[in-house]
Amino acid sequence: KDVAWGDLDYLIIDAPPGTGDEPLSVCQLINPIDGAVVVTTPQRVAAMDVRKSITFCAQVGMKVLGVVENMSGFVCPKCGEVTHILRSGGGKRMADDMGVPFLGSIPIDPSVAEAGDLGQAFVLHHASSPTAELMRSVVAPLLNLPAPAPQA
């Protein structure tokens, strides 16, 4: 209420999983919301929380724009090979079960944290890396969504 956001193309809010006070407060304070991107990790317990988040979105009339599976494998900093130290594919299975779009999977990549520590935009400074390509492929469908109707 106390912030003059101006005209925004996107507002990204990182909320904890589930249906606690934070997501409810966001829905009450920012209305209308065009949609939500729900992020999960491959483990079953994480998918259970994300299912609750998707159900919450449906209950408040918020469209789920898609699901992203984060930490889907680990990129070796020496050779660049992806190793699946956690299960993978759980996000896609859950999205399919819930009938929402699956946007893609992104691995743990130490170079993402390194870029952040240096204040660099990872996808710009490592544009040709496989992880940056995956990030762009996850975001691309969101950039092509039709603009929302202006509010009266």
Instruction: Give 8-27 as a 3 state SS string.
Output: CCCCCCCCCCCCCHHHHHHH
Q: Averaged over 111-135, what is the pLDDT? A: 94
pLDDT recorded at residue 149: 64
Residues of the chain by 3-state class (helix, strand, coil), percent to 5: 40, 15, 45
Residue 6 lies in a domain: no
Q: What predicted TM-score, i.e. pTM, was given to this entire model?
A: 0.85
Residue 125 lies in a domain: yes
Query: Residues for the chain: how many in total?
Result: 152
pLDDT exceeds 70 at position 119:
yes
Instruction: Enter the tokens of residue 59.
Output: 């209950």
| Domain harbouring 63, CATH code | 3.40.50.300
Residue 149 lies in a domain: no
112 inside domain:
yes
7 inside domain:
no
Strands 82-83 and 36-40 turn out to be unpaired
- Looking at the 3D structure of the chain, how many domains does it have? 1
Identity of the residue numbered 64: V
Residue 103 pLDDT: 96
Average pLDDT over residues 80-99: 87
148 assigned to some structural domain: no
Average pLDDT, the chain: 86
Q: Is residue 108 part of a domain?
A: yes
The C-alpha atoms of residue 137 and residue 40 are separated, in whole angstroms, by 17
What is the domain range of residue 108? 21-143
Within a domain: 44: yes
